[in-house]
């Protein structure tokens, strides 16, 4: 699988892949990973939160 979270591919994403993580509230972090919550909602989270149970 290609690296989807690194390099120039990010420049095509909204705000170039950066934002505030909804889980840990880190600002200006790359929120590129999808974590599915208990209720089935998909959140775009940072690398630190991608393996957390939500």
Which residue in 16, 24, 28, 34 binds Zn ion (CB under 5 A)?
Answer: 24
Instruction: Please report whether residue 32 would count as binding Zn ion according to CB under 5 A.
Output: no
Q: Give the interface size with Zn ion as a residue count (CB under 5 A).
A: 6
Q: Which stretch binds Zn ion (CB under 5 A): 1-9, 15-23, 35-43?
A: 15-23
HSE toward the beta carbon, residue 49, CA cutoff 13 A: 22
Q: Is residue 54 part of the contact set for Zn ion (CB under 5 A)?
A: no
Give the side-chain half-sphere CA count within 13 A for 16.
5
| Angstrom distance (rounded) from CA 8 to CA 21 | 21
Q: Which residues in this chain contact Zn ion in the complex, by CB under 5 A?
A: 21, 23-24, 46, 48-49
């Amino acid at each position: 699988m290609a690296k989807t979270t690194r390099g120039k591919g990010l420049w095509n994403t909204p705000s170039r892949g950066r934002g505030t993580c909804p889980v840990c509230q880190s600002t200006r972090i790359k929120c590129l990973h999808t974590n599915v919550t208990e209720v089935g909602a998909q959140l775009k989270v940072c690398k630190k939160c991608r393996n957390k149970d939500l």
